[in-house]
Structure 1
Amino acid sequence: MGKYHDLAEKIVENVGGRENINSLTHCITRLRFKLKDEANAKDDILKNMDGVVTVMKSGGQYQVVIGNHVPDVYADVLEVAHLSGDAEETASGGNLFNRLIDILSGCFQPFLGALAAAGMVKGVNALFVFLKLYENTSGTYTMLNGIGDAIFYFMPVILGYTAAKKFRLNPMVGIVIGAALCYPSVQGPALQGAYEAVAGAGAAAPHSLLGLPAYDTFLGIPWVGASYTSSVVPIIFIIAFAAQIQKLAKKIIPAVVQTFLVPFFVLLIALPIGFLIIGPIISILTDLLSSGFQSLMSFSPALYGVILGFFWQVLVIFGLHWSVVPLAIMQVTQEGASQVLVGSFGASFAQTAVVLAMYFKLKDKKLKALCPPAIISGIFGVTEPAIYGITLPKKKPFIFSMIGGAAAGLYLMINGVTTYTMGGLGIFGVVNFIGDGDASGMIQSFIAIGIAVVIGFVLTFFFWKDDTVEEIDALSDSKISVNKEVVATPIQGTLAPLSTSKDAAFAQGALGKGILIHPTKGEVVAPFDGTVMTLFPTKHAIGLVSDNGLELLIHIGLDTVQLDGSHFEAFVQQNERVKKGQLLVRFDIEAIQKAGFNVETPIIVTNASDYLDILETQKKTIANGEELITALV
């Protein structure tokens, strides 16, 4: 029984019962039912139900809008209604960046607790070695290191399972795909050994002349061998591809033999494609980044520090930080010192400080509980729990951590700080900057930590707002977090879809998502507390931004700019603060129509791509103060 079991039971009951459901899918925010008879669904009960934002009907679907926790509700509805859940998961809202974040956070969310725990074990182990309680060659160190490192080393196996659940692939097949990526004989060094066994020890394989990892052939096709242990991106792409193969295979293969033939063809097709195409693409990107970073540092160390510090956490997410790490290892080994990774040192501390600031502001108790272990893990240099579980899904805090990392990187590089060893991570990484008894680099590293921490914490604490609204489910007493912003109607009138506008730009959604109002009263009032961002001199259009960042355009009539302000009266000025319900503009509907102009008024959310979904009311008429648009974060 899942967390939202009681809510799921109420939803199933009020859509007409399990016998009224033909199929069910979900997108980022909505349960999408195909019902046998929509008349059997109780719209009003569902709309007023705790845990449900609203109900919409579109494209032959009965849509129950839930919010960003819809996957969990979906799973419980499947259980309650005894549905198979084989339907394809789609994403109807949000831009490519939002969907990417949804995939990444969805894949990492199930094992964040274990990830944070493993990071803490690694940190404690590093602390004990630093305090000389035992050596890093001892059995104690080896065991604790294995416990802490296992989840990172076998990351493809774990992601194979969670990504399979996300993309609706057989989870056991996902585990096998992840295990195959960790199989020793397909790693780059193993292929090099195989080549030397044939050509002779120390022989330079052809790949080395091109600067590529070792390769072999598959059915006569050359393929690049790379190390996939601890990687993130390849497994997710391969699982996404494998899910499509499974979907196709189920349509072709008879049901009686699907149990073993579907996984057979999925593995036989998806993994070779992964090894032949996806892996080499990641390797090429890594090589290109490596060359780019070398050139940038030669051009300007300061600029290099800013860019590396800013993008370091992004590189970690995609596993592309390995384009830089080998350069540092090589320089330290050959020259005894390196500046290659110096610019990235403050990034983990900025990330940790951001999580600390979020801890004081978060309303979601479940997410708040993840902060302390993520902070501890981050202090020791392991930031994956913080990134995937806390800052990245919220977007803005993640960007603040990037700014803090950039500032610290700039400081370290302009002061010429050098690292002399690749030993410690996190706070224990400060000893990496001690060389030949000179501790000045370590002192500079502490200053850089301070810069990263202060910037990350201050930006998050003062410029990030947690818009989570906690709603209590009356039956289960479980708290359901819904991130949303409501826009009240600024104009009284009758409503129509934006697509019916006589202006092609508005009708095609070129300016954003919204709704069309045919005014019955010539007054525009503030739909929320916010600021007048733009007020056209002709007063026919006004742009507002809410205190939470929603940008709204109210365009009174079509081509009314030609009236040059006639029949319009403004009661506010540009950049003025306004309160919800405050009169903004008055206009004479009859005079505008007599002048030959259409008064239909588009209400547009111009930054709709910043939201998961934009929901327009389905009422036919609306009065001032009533809910017009709901934006889901």
Structure 2
Amino acid sequence: MKNKQLAEVIIEHVGGKDNIISLVHCATRLRFALKDESKANADFLKKQAGIITVVQSGGQFQVVIGNSVADVFDVIMQLTHLNETPSKDAPSAAPKGVISKLIDLVSSIFIPVLVVLVAGGILKGIIALLQVCSIVHEKTPTFNFLTAIADAPFYYLPIILGFSAVKKFGGNPYVGMALGGALIHPAIIGMIKENIELQTEFFNIPIQLIQYKSSVFPVILAAWFYSLLERNFNKIMHDSFKKFISPLLGIMITVPLTFALIGPVVAFLSNSVANGIIYVYELNSVIAGMILAGLWQIMVVFGIHWGLVPFAINNTIVYHEDFMLPILFPAVFAQVGAVLAVMLRSQDPQVKALASSSALSGIFGVTEPAIYGINLPLKRPFVIGCISAMVGGGIIGYFKSVIFSFSFTSIFAFLQMIPADGLDDKFYAAVIGSIISFLIALIVTYLFGIPKDKKQNDDNETENYQLNSNQTDISEQVKTITIASPLTGQIIDLKEVNDVTFASGLMGKGAAIIPTVGEAIAPEDGEVVSLFRTKHAIGFQTKSGAEILIHIGIDTVKLDGQYFEAHVESGQKVKKGDRLVSFDIEAIKQAGFEVTTPIIITNSDDYIDVQCIFNQDDIQQGDALLALSANKE
């Protein structure tokens, strides 16, 4: 139920089902391709419980969910039926920029495929470990069965990518599977045998036949060409037979053309790019390792890291090893070290809980919760993590560590660096480099990267303010904006709210009220920026520019508007004291929900300080609640 409600909110605030061209997900984010991004409300989505943040990058509208992203994705697909009707608008509605197009293309094609590739890669690592430990021996039945399971996703990669690519390009994805299957059919493989290339012919057309098993790029370009043919055939053919004839003609043209031209040309270009990357790496592997490790998590923040994925996969297939993935290990474990330091140092139970779960996710290769939940908001831990990663990246670059199959950068991926003939210096360098980056980030963040406890900071800032007031006339430099209480009830510290998103201060500073009167009023003159469909949350902007979120109750979105009544509409101008929403406190409690209401200044970063100035237990509507300190213009 929780995932369904979150999915409904996301669909509504990305502009509705009709605004969605396509949707894929990676380990932590939903990646939307939208027809019109201006219809999406990123600011609103960022404030919702269950959403870590929103990133608009690479031509995609990315909603970062965290570990439960797959569950939310499944619900959205059920509600929108996107998987049933591939969008015909997808090719024409692609992002405008070349880089944006490429990032969107790569992520849309490869993200659905990575699950099976990573599973196969991890199993390859386990097989290598079993060989080193002399538990499994080569050419035994057990070894052959395990190898078949691990190799299958890579050997039949053209079939898997054929499905994913044709689906992305708007054609029939099952024809894409047949297209990939033709490239690795036993009749073709049997012609090549042990030769790398073979000169042959097709109806007297000369063909240079090469190995396509495990290939990456040829089938993708072939899928694009086939999809182009299918769409054009569908336009000119009658509805009664186009569903069969269009795929027939499309694949009959595409497969020979792929063998004759597309495959050899794309294979040559992809191998040339791979050789170029390796050449640059060989010029100075230490510097290359430091740069890639230091920039990786920054690329993750903007969602553009997927641009390197095809080349890493291509390297493992063409050269049976890849040097890029090991360099990323320190980048991941440095962020884990930084967030672990926050957990150890912080005195806030809510921050400790969020940091510990983020550290656990990071160990398994998912760093977005650590980045968006802790390290990036605190700034210094994120920067320290990136710099610490450079040290480990340099070490791994010096020893030129490699991985033998594709994987996510997680603790399991170390298994995939084990050579069949036993552990070597390259393996130990990757482990030691990752540990060093982890320890540097942990120690430096613990000593220098974390602000003092928030309460202590607030006390110190107040004390410093008073001291400075005795020396200079602060009133000439700072103006104070007072925000009144929209509720009547008992006031509590924001940290006491039973919701980590609010209690941690990630959404902004403010206060919380346990209401005794079921009515929320406008705290100041301003505008209702957003009114949640379920009426439990109001986004409000004052004339002075303060952005206020009034979130009535905890998890009350699950009530779907029951026991709430709205008296205003989104976009409506209101005066201080105007009634916004009324609600039935007792009914909400009987339904099993808290009525504790966080009142958040969501643009807290625009102010020098945000303080709760009401110093009694009970507050009335209209009483001064918050003081916002801002520089005078």
Q: TM-score range by the shorter chain?
A: 0.3 to 0.5
Q: TM-score, normalised by structure 1?
A: 0.47
